[in-house]
Amino acid sequence: MKIRNLFLLLLVLSSSFLEAKLPLQVKKSVVFIFTRDTANRLQTQGTGFFVLLRTNQNADTANFGYLVTTKNTLFRQDGSAIDSLYIRINRKDGFSDTLIIPLVQNGLRRYFVHPDSLADLAIIPAYPDLNRYDVLFTPVNMIAGMDFLKNEGIVEGDEVFYTGMLSSHFGIFKNIPVVRVGKVVQISDEKYSLGKGYTEFFLIEAALSDGGIGSPLYYYSPAVKDSGKITTPATLVLIGIISGKYEENHESCLTRVVPAFKLIELINAPEVAAEREKEFARMKEAKKK
């Protein structure tokens, strides 16, 4: 192919991507997470998003909501545990509320972490009032499974995007999420060294502020119509959770991403499933009264 023709082809492909707008309604899936410092002032801690699981037990159906973030978001920089998180969530009237999420209640931990101690992932049972709050849940069937990246042919150089908090400007009266586009830079069959062990994650190249940690990372493929007028539907999939910068001691835009299948593993973990069983039992008792 001549150089001029190759240049024109690249230009057309580039224009096609730019015209395919990202589904920016996903900005409604995130909330901003804060803690209180020693002076009782709110300080930014990270981003969270909600996942919805609908389950059946005999004739009963229940929706279970979880606030998803990183495990490190639940701890201060000095490593001490946080008793409560403060999440700011947008209301439907254009303003926001700041809600307290206790992490310990009646002496019991209210959050769950992944069985892999090096997986930077945590969930907290939470179900905000959808009549009051302008928030979207991510359904479990939108979470990419273990083989999604391989089956969809997602490789280094493919574009992804995340939405979350920009620490320097997160909004005065309501949350104003930022959307950042990046590229996958490394997917490894081997686990990465982290701390004193090894765990799964992959790397993207994207700008990241501290407030963006815990953000959902998406892969989006717009609808395509072929010459036979057959339309391939658009694809929007949660492929990971932003965990933090890679190579902290270097000037690098490389960012660690916890693969989304780890979130599926956590939601299905025995400890979390047992909590859902208890909730079904409470529902049955409530019906008897």
CB 113, CB 120: distance < 8 Å? no
Asked if residue 182 lies in contact with residue 257, where contact means CB atoms within 8 angstroms, the answer is no
Domain containing residue 50: CATH number: 2.40.10.10
Does residue 12 lie in a domain region? no
Residue 206: domain span: 20-277
Whether 251 is covered by a domain: the verdict is yes
The per-residue pLDDT for 251 is 57
Q: Per-residue b/e over 251-286, b at no fewer than 16 CB within 10 Å?
A: eeebbbbbbbbbbbbbbebeebeeebeeebeeeeee
Residue 283 lies in a domain: no
Residue 229 lies in a domain: yes
**CB-CB contact of 137 with 93 (8 Å):** no
Mean pLDDT of the chain: 85
Mean pLDDT, residues 65-85: 89
Q: pLDDT tens, 193-215?
A: 888 899 999 999 998 888 999 99
pLDDT band at 59 (very low <50, low <70, confident <90, very high): low
Predicted confidence (pLDDT) at residue 38 exceeds the cutoff of 80: no
Whether the pLDDT of residue 7 is over 60: the answer is no
The answer to whether position 1 is within a domain reads: no
The confidence score (pLDDT) of residue 225 equals: 66
Is 9 a member of any domain?
no
Residue with tokens 């072929």: 226
Q: Does residue 116 lie within any of the structural domains?
A: yes
- 70 is a domain residue: yes
Amino acid 6: pLDDT: 38
Per-residue pLDDT at 123: 97
pLDDT band of 240, cuts 50, 70, 90 = very high
Q: How many structural domains compose the chain?
A: 1
For the chain, report the end-to-end CA distance as a whole number of angstroms: 76
Report the distance separating Cα 59 and Cα 264, nearest Å.
Answer: 24
- Which segments of 140-251 are extended strands (E)? 159-164, 178-186, 192-194, 197-199, 202-205, 216-221, 224-225, 231-232, 235-245
Instruction: State the pTM of this model.
Output: 0.87
Per DSSP bridges, beta strands 30-36 and 42-57 are: antiparallel
For residue 239, give the nearest of 17, 26, 19, 73 by alpha carbon.
Answer: 26
Average pLDDT of span 282-288: 75
